């Protein structure tokens, strides 16, 4: 599909915002899981999962807002979401977080494959998106390792 530059930039921003929303959901779920764990497991969750997801969330929000400002488009508010019912349990929250991280990564991967960041984006945005994907990359594997030992 042929885009005007303005249309392409708006779509690019919308996709980045969608990925940010997913990462925000993951962050909320991990925060809820943390609250349900003993100190040792909570520390492991914070180090292996929460820290990288929190860094990815900050990075994607920064990339989004900075790009919007550079191209003169209005950025919408991106805010963390509610984690949901506590009855989900720590394991359920971690699984929800993994699903959200994988969805965010899929959005960013598809966006990068589309070449839209090259056609209407800029180097700073492309670097930001790559950094976010690097931070999110190991989260699923680390979550599987952590879930295996929860409750032992």
Residue 54: burial class (beta carbons within 10 Å; 0-12, 13-18, 19+): middle
Residue with tokens 């977080």: 97
Overall pTM surpassing 0.85 (yes/no): yes
Q: Look up the domain containing 145 and give its range.
A: 5-149
CATH number for the domain spanning 72: value is 1.20.1260.10
- Over residues 41-57, the pLDDT tens digits come to 999 999 999 999 999 99
CA–CA separation, 10 and 19 (whole Å): 14
Tokens of 72: 């003169």
Distances (CA, A) of 51 to 6, 15, 38: 35, 23, 18
The number of domains in the chain is: 1
CA–CA separation, 97 and 26 (whole Å): 4
Supply φ then ψ for residue 58, to 5 degrees.
Answer: -65, -40
- Over residues 68-87, the pLDDT tens digits come to 999 999 998 887 777 666 66
């Amino acid at each position: 599909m042929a885009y005007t530059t303005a249309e392409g930039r708006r779509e690019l921003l919308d996709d980045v915002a969608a990925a940010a929303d997913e990462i925000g959901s993951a962050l909320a779920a991990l925060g809820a899981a943390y609250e349900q764990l003993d100190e040792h497991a909570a520390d492991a969750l914070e180090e292996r999962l929460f820290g990288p997801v929190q860094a990815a969330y900050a990075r994607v929000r920064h990339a989004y807002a900075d790009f919007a400002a550079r191209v003169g488009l209005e950025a919408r508010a991106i805010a963390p979401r509610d984690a949901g019912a506590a009855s989900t349990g720590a394991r359920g929250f971690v699984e929800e977080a993994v699903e959200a991280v994988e969805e965010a990564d899929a959005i960013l991967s598809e966006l990068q494959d589309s070449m839209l960041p090259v056609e209407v984006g800029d180097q700073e945005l492309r670097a930001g998106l790559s950094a976010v994907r690097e931070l999110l990359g190991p989260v699923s594997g680390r979550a599987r390792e952590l879930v295996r030992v929860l409750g032992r």
